[in-house]
Amino acid sequence: MNESIITVNINHLGIKITVLCVYAPSNDKVDLEKDRFYEKLNETLINIGTTRGIILLGDFNGHEGTKVNNHVVGPYGEIRINDNGERLIDLCKSHNLRITNVYFKHKMIHKYTWEQHTRKLQSIIDYIIVTQK
């Protein structure tokens, strides 16, 4: 499947929100492909502007690590970080976004969004990201 970005604008009771559904390239793709995807996502966020709330949902194929007292990354993610995770963190910093599913402690059966049972692998690669305000 190719990477994609789908946007939906919602205006309800005076609240303006843009929901973006995202499928990012996997971490093993060449840097040029990942650069193009994140440039396109960055341009999309710039075009939305700062007057709308943003909800960014999807498969980012990244590991963002954990941080304490951080505005982007919370303390309950995975310890590891990879190139896609670093790219996601940089994007969130530049647009004042927060990766919400690592801000709250979950039961282990609810923490991971990807599993491969045969190799007993688990990971968080799908995220819910919102504006910090």
Residue 103 sits in a domain whose CATH number is 3.60.10.10
pLDDT of 34 reads 94
**Which residue range forms the structural domain that includes residue 119?**
4-131
Residue 1 reports pLDDT greater than 60? no
Reported as a pLDDT band with limits 50, 70 and 90, residue 63 is: confident
- In order of 19, 23, 26, 75, the CA distances from 37 in angstroms are 17, 9, 11, 27
Of 107 and 89, which is predicted with more confidence?
89
pLDDT of 104 reads 75
In single-letter form, the type of residue at position 93 comes to K
Residues linked to residue 114 through DSSP beta bridges, in sequence order: 123
Pair 102, 89: CB distance under 8 Å? no
Distance CA 120, CA 43 (A): 38
pLDDT of 79 reads 81
Of 46 and 103, which is predicted with more confidence?
46
3-57 confidence digits (pLDDT tens): 689 999 999 999 999 999 999 998 889 999 999 999 999 999 999 999 999 999 9
Number of domain units in the chain: 1
Query: What does the pLDDT average to over 80-101?
Result: 93
Q: What is the pTM of this model?
A: 0.83
